[in-house]
């Protein structure tokens, strides 16, 4: 499920956040039920946890969310999207997976993204220097191929419910700045801010079904600067624990919304790559906001009849 993810959008266009995560989610669930929906995967976020003092957050641990603070519209919308998926699972009998994405990064990151990886790279390229205000803020950084694997592990090897889709690669902001400095040759200025914050989504639940992140931060930044999506996708498809489960997609139709986005596009490329590993690979319908841009992103698949791109912003029912 695609949604505005830039904080400024939460402040100025909160209704768009709700339209995607709540109204759009319900529309998709109803649309799917009319067509034999079996499994609904909701792209959620660590934002659902709210404000918590726990630095390592398990799937069942939640903090408070101030519902009178408009910036929290994203947190609440993601919570409601998860509850919708759960409610339809309980009442209608479909399978559901809520993939709580951690700090994902990789090729295709939006220019206006507020992710630290993006802002630091832009700063390095434009000014030759990265200024780190609060060096002791720590997050888990998860490269896109690992995020994709995490979602697939939860979907194919997990049970109904939520999974933290992140990694054990936990780094401070100064660590990140120094890695980028090493790749770009830029300077790093440490302002020695006093904020200490560690918010890491515990991936033990995924670890217990065989998932382990493979791409450390240093290598991930290399891959971001020198993208090779075909290599990344090939690694996902070749995962030895996932390979026996790919057959669950045989003969199916998979709808991916926001398909031209950073992470959803990796899902599309992964599903399309299954044809090299199985017979009767799934058909993929990619729902996008801008058809021309999507065609450019998926140009290498333009002649493949298994991919259909549909222009829609989910404010109206899908016409498929």
pLDDT of res. 126: 93
Instruction: Read off the pLDDT band of 11 (50, 70, 90).
Output: confident
Q: Mind listing the pLDDT tens digit for each residue in 217-232?
A: 999 999 999 999 999 9
Closest CA to 41 of 119, 126, 147, 141: 147
Q: Is residue 195 predicted with pLDDT exceeding 80?
A: no
Instruction: Answer yes or no: do 177 and 237 share one domain.
Output: no
- What is the per-residue pLDDT across 254-276, written as a single tens digit (0 to 9) for each? 999 999 999 999 999 999 999 98
If asked whether residues 237 and 141 sit together in one domain, one would say no
Confidence at residue 191, expressed as pLDDT on a 0 to 100 scale: 84
pLDDT at 291 > cutoff 90? yes
Q: Of the candidates 192, 226, 260, which is a domain's last residue?
A: 226
Is residue 317 in a domain? no
Residues 221, 236 within the same domain: no
What is the C-alpha separation between 192 and 176, in angstroms, rounded? 15
Print the domain residue range for 26.
1-101
| H-state helical runs in the chain | 7-12, 14-18, 24-33, 73-92, 116-127, 144-156, 173-184, 204-207, 217-225, 229-237, 262-273, 291-297
The verdict on 234 and 196 lying in the same domain is no
User: Is residue 186 in a domain?
Assistant: yes
* Domain count of the fold of the chain: 3
Are 68 and 131 within one domain? no
List the strands of the sheet with 161-165, edge to edge.
39-45, 95-101, 161-165
Whether residue 161 is found in the same domain as residue 93 = no
Residue 320 placed within a domain: no
Task: Identify the DSSP state of 301.
Answer: G
CATH of the domain at 11: 3.40.50.720
Arithmetic mean of pLDDT, 114-128: 92
* 65 and 141 inside one domain: no
Give the mean pLDDT of 47-51: 93
Q: What tokens appear for 313 in the block? A: 């912003």
Give the end of a domain, one of 182, 210, 226: 226
Q: Is residue 319 assigned to a domain?
A: no
- pLDDT score at 110: 83
Dump pLDDT digits (tens) for 131-187. 998 888 999 999 999 999 999 999 999 999 999 999 999 999 999 999 999 999 999
| Helix-, strand-, coil-residue percentages of the chain, each rounded to 5 | 45, 20, 35
- 207 domain residue, yes or no: yes
pLDDT reading at 7 higher than 90? no
210 to each of 149, 154, 213, 231, how far by Cα in Å? 11, 10, 10, 22
Q: Which residues, 6+ apart, have CB-to-CB distance to 128 below 8 Å?
A: 186, 187
Q: How far apart are CA 124 and CA 19, in angstroms?
A: 35
DSSP 8-state assignment for residue 53: S
Which of 41, 73, 101 lies at the terminal end of a domain, its last residue? 101
Q: Are residues 17 and 83 in the same domain?
A: yes
State whether 198 and 254 are in the same domain.
no
* Residues 128, 207 share a domain: yes
């Amino acid at each position: 499920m695609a949604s505005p993810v830039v904080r400024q959008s939460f402040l100025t266009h909160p209704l768009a956040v709700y339209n995607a995560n709540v109204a759009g989610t319900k529309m998709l669930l109803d649309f799917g039920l009319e067509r034999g929906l079996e499994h609904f995967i909701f792209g959620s976020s660590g934002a659902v946890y709210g404000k918590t003092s726990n630095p390592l957050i398990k799937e069942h641990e939640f903090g408070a969310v101030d519902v009178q603070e408009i910036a929290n519209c994203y947190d609440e919308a993601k919570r409601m999207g998860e509850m919708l998926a759960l409610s339809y699972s309980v009442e209608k009998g479909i399978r559901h997976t809520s993939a709580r994405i951690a700090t994902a990064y990789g090729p295709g990151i939006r220019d206006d993204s507020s992710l630290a990886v993006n802002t630091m790279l832009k700063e390095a390229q434009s000014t030759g220097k990265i200024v780190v205000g609060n060096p002791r803020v720590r997050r888990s950084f998860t490269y896109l191929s690992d995020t994709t694997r995490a979602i697939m592990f939860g979907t194919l090897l997990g049970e109904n419910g939520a999974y933290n889709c992140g990694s054990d690669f936990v780094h401070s902001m100064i660590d990140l700045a120094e890695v980028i400095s090493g790749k770009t040759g830029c300077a790093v200025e440490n302002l020695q801010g006093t904020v200490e914050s560690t918010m890491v989504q515990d991936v033990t639940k995924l670890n217990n079904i065989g998932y382990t992140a493979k791409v450390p931060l240093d290598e991930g930044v290399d891959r971001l600067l020198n993208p090779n999506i075909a290599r990344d996708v090939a690694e996902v498809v070749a995962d030895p624990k996932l390979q026996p489960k790919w057959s669950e997609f045989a003969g199916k139709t998979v709808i991916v919304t926001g398909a031209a986005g950073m992470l959803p596009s990796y899902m599309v490329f992964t599903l399309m790559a299954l044809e090299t590993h199985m017979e009767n690979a799934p058909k993929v319908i990619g729902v996008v906001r801008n058809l021309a841009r999507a065609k450019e992103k998926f140009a290498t698949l333009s002649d493949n009849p298994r991919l259909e791109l549909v222009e829609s912003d989910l404010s109206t029912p899908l016409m498929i």
